[in-house]
Structure 1
Amino acid sequence: MGCRRVLVTGTGPLGCAPAIRAQRSLNGECATELMRASSLFNPQLARVLEQLNARFGAGTFVAANAFRVHFDFVSDPAAYGFVRADEACCGQGPHNGLGLCTPASNLCADRSKYVFWDAYHPTERANRVIVSQFMTGSLDYVSPMNLSTVLEMDARIHSLEDGLLV
């Protein structure tokens, strides 16, 4: 259909979302069964993308490992400057993981210290970490190349095409 690149993101650490911790965990740990589901799905997705790249050209499909990058700061939030990775900044109930973020919700004082904004979604700062790893990170986070490499390659291709047209 004419696209040059397709970025495909696997699942993050589903069992670590505050909503899941609130609903399925007695001790606040990540829910094992959903972590297992992610660990089964993501490698299969990566294999399918490798097959598609073999068919349509290397680097057409770029796999973003949302699980790895997100789990890195869920498992060691202090390494990324976060204070809380086990509860949401805005919500209700255990881990602020129940309900929507509304005026009646508990609200943290500084959302930049939290990995999760609400029951499922990362904060703006957490999303910036995720995007940064996809842009410049290693093949642990994005493959077959990071997005900076993709953009550089595409810029060179456009330069060559423009040069041929002149």
Structure 2
Amino acid sequence: MTLMMTGYLKRLYNLGARKFLVVGIPAVGCCPFQRNQNKTGGGCKEESNYWSNKYNEGAKSMLQAMKTEFKDVNYAFSDSYNIVLNFIQKPANYGFVEVKAACCGLGNLNADVPCIPISQYCPKRTDHVFWDLFHPTEATVKIFIDIIFDNSQQYVSPVNVRQLLWNRGKKPKPRL
């Protein structure tokens, strides 16, 4: 997969792109659908999380290799895996109450049936990490964006998105 991504990024480079934001794959094994499929009783599906991590490692290596090959390339890689895992492991830090069940759906963890008009909806969407079987809530996305935009290298590297946009912290000179 990273070989395919390398080809796409090189094509974009040849078209003039010099800055890239690559969003890693989150802990997909912890989404309601995967938890519902897990035979261990609703815990995160470790095999899926293993492959998410492997993909992210490959993507980071690919970006580092691209930076070595093309000195004028700059990038930010978001560690979506650990950001989402942190939401799940320390929900109160982010204002979340429910980390396993979907806000919208039917059945166990609201993950037996996707979000449809007759689905059960949670009373407070901002309490949930997940909206449906797979997707985060708007509250989750807002916090995620804030983290990758302004956070330190703990979750986004080698620079955050603000630094990437503003040439590694230098604000562009106004055009006259």
Query: What TM-score, normalized to structure 2?
Result: 0.84
Find the counterpart in structure 2 of residue 128 from structure 1: 142
Find the counterpart in structure 2 of residue 71 from structure 1: 85
Find the counterpart in structure 2 of residue 85 from structure 1: 99
Q: How far off is 1:156 after superposition?
A: 4.7
User: Which of the residues 96, 101, 122 maps onto 1:108?
Assistant: 122
Q: How far off is 1:155 after superposition?
A: 8.5
Whole-Å separation in 1 of the counterparts to 2:139 and 2:110: 18
Q: How far off is 1:110 after superposition?
A: 0.3
Say whether 1:43 aligns with 2:57. yes
Q: How far off is 1:57 after superposition?
A: 2.7
Aligned ranges 1:1-166 → 2 under 5 Å:
1-57=15-71, 60-153=74-167, 156=170, 158-159=172-173, 162=175
Q: Map Cα deviations across residues 106-155 of structure 1 (whole Å, 9 max, x no partner).
A: 11000000000000000000001110110011112111100111222278
Whole-Å separation in 2 of the counterparts to 1:12 and 1:43: 12
Q: How far off is 1:2 after superposition?
A: 1.2
Whole-Å separation in 2 of the counterparts to 1:86 and 1:59: 39
Q: State the SS of the aligned residue for 1:153.
A: coil
Q: How far off is 1:37 after superposition?
A: 1.0
Whole-Å separation in 2 of the counterparts to 1:108 and 1:41: 33
Give the partner amino acid of 2:29: G
Greater share of helix: 1
Whole-Å separation in 2 of the counterparts to 1:2 and 1:157: 21
Unpaired runs of 5+ residues, structure 2, are: 1-14
Query: What TM-score, normalized to structure 1?
Result: 0.89
Q: State the SS of the aligned residue for 1:118.
A: coil
Give the partner amino acid of 1:79: N
Unpaired runs of 5+ residues, structure 1, are: none
Q: State the SS of the aligned residue for 1:101.
A: coil
Contact kept, 8 Å, 1:52 with 1:61, in 2: the verdict is no
Query: Among the aligned pairs, what percent are the same residue?
Result: 31
Q: Which moved more, 1:19-28 or 1:85-94?
A: 19-28
Aligned pairs, number? 162
| Aligned CA-pair RMSD | 1.9
Give the partner amino acid of 1:107: Y
Whole-Å separation in 2 of the counterparts to 1:51 and 1:105: 46
Q: How far off is 1:49 after superposition?
A: 0.7
